[in-house]
Amino acid sequence: MVKVDGSGGQSSLVQVRDLDKTYRRGGEDIDVLQGLNLDVEAGEFVAFMGPSGSGKSTLLNLLGGLDVPTRGHITVAGDEITHMSGGKLTEWRARHVGFIFQMYNLIPVLTAFQNVELPLLLTKLSKAERRSHVETALGVVGLTDRMHHFPRQLSGGQEQRVTIARAIVSDPTFLLCDEPTGDLDRKSADDVMALIEELVGKYHKTVLMVTHDPVVAARAHSILHLEKGVLVEGKHASQLTGAGGAA
C-alpha cells in the first residue's frame, strides 16, 4: 500500500523522507515541497494530482533524479539518490527510470525503432540483442508494424506508445509519467492508459504518474493529492470510478 505518513518499512521500493524543495524566484523563496513523505511498494500504480504549481512535476523530477531536493532523502530500490553525484545519478537513471513525457519528446530525425533503441546504446548489448529488445518493446505497445516510421509519420497516440516502448525497453525499476495523456484525445488517452495498466498488471511495473485528469487518475491503484507541499491520500480508484463515469 502507498503511505504518505512516513510509516512505510524498508521493503518499500520508493521511500521518501522529509523532502523539501525550495525555489528562489525574484529574490523570494518559494517552498514547493515541505517535509513530504512517501512509500510505494513494487508493482503499484500511483497517480499524483493537484492544482498547477502544486509541485507534482517537481516531485516526479526529484523521484527520477532529474532534480535535487533542498532537504530530505529519496531511496529507490535501496539506492539513496539524493547524495549521488551528477554522473552517478545519470547512470542510475539509465538503469532504474523510464520516463514518459506529455509531449512524447521523441527525436524527430530517428525512426521509432531508433528512438526506442536509444537507452540500449548505453549498454553492452550486441546489435542483435538490441534489435531483439527493441522489437519486444515495440511489440508490447503494438507498434511492430510502425518501427521504421519517423515520429512525423505517426499519430499522437502512436508517438506516446513509442515513448512508452523507449521507457520500458531497458526494463527499468519504475516508470515516471508526466501527464502522459495531456496531449491526446480521449480515445488515444484511453488506449495509452490501457497500455500503462497492462504494464502494471501483466508485467508488474511500478508506475508513478502525474495527471490533471481525474478520469485518467482513476485508472491508478492509488491517488495522492499534493496540498501545501505535502501529499494527502485522495479517493481510491474504485471510489472515483463513479465520479469518473459522470465526468
Partner 1 sequence: MKFARIIFANLLRKKVRLLLTIGSFAVALFLFAFLYVVNDAFQRGADVAGADRLVIINRTSIINPLPLADRDKILRIPGVKVITHNNWFGAIYKDEKNFFPQFVIDPENQRQVFSELIVPEDQWNAFLKDRQGAIVGARTAERFGWKIGDRVPLISTIWGGGNWEFNVDGIYHGKRPQDDDTQFWLQWDYFQEHVPAGIKGQVGWYVLRLDSPDDAVRVSKAIDAEFANSPFETKTETESAFAASWVKQFGNIKFLIITIGTVVFLTLLLVTGNTMAISVRERTPELAVFKAIGYSDRAVLFFVLAESLIIALIGGTIGLLLSVGAVPALAKGLNGLLPPLVLSPSTLVLGLILAILVGLISGMLPGLTAMHMRVVNALRRV
Residues within the interface to partner 1 (CB under 8 A): 61, 64, 66-67, 86-87, 90-91, 93-95, 99, 101, 103, 105, 107-110, 114, 118-119, 121-122, 127, 166
Nearest Cα to 164, choosing from 129, 122, 198? 198
Q: How far is the CB of 233 from partner 1 (least distance, A)?
A: 27
Nearer to partner 1, 66 or 237 (CB): 66
Q: How far is the CB of 116 from partner 1 (least distance, A)?
A: 11
Alpha helix (H) residue ranges in 118-236? 127-140, 156-168, 186-201, 214-217
Nearer to partner 1, 23 or 203 (CB): 23
Nearer to partner 1, 118 or 237 (CB): 118
Q: Yes or no: say if 162 and 193 are a contact pair by the CB < 8 Å rule.
A: no
Q: How far is the CB of 87 from partner 1 (least distance, A)?
A: 6
Nearer to partner 1, 111 or 188 (CB): 111
**SS3 per residue for 36-78:** EEEEECCCCEEEEECCCCCCHHHHHHHHCCCCCCCEEEEEECC
Q: How far is the CB of 104 from partner 1 (least distance, A)?
A: 9
The grid coordinates of residue 24 equal 528562489
Nearer to partner 1, 127 or 187 (CB): 127
Nearer to partner 1, 84 or 237 (CB): 84
Q: How far is the CB of 231 from partner 1 (least distance, A)?
A: 20
Question: Quick one: 148 exposed, middle or buried, by C-beta within 10 A (0-12, 13-18, 19+)?
Answer: exposed
In 3-state terms, what secondary structure has residue 23?
Answer: strand
Give the Cα separation of 140 and 134 in Å (integer): 10
The grid coordinates of residue 63 equal 523521484
Nearest Cα to 163, choosing from 148, 145, 175? 175
Q: How far is the CB of 66 from partner 1 (least distance, A)?
A: 5
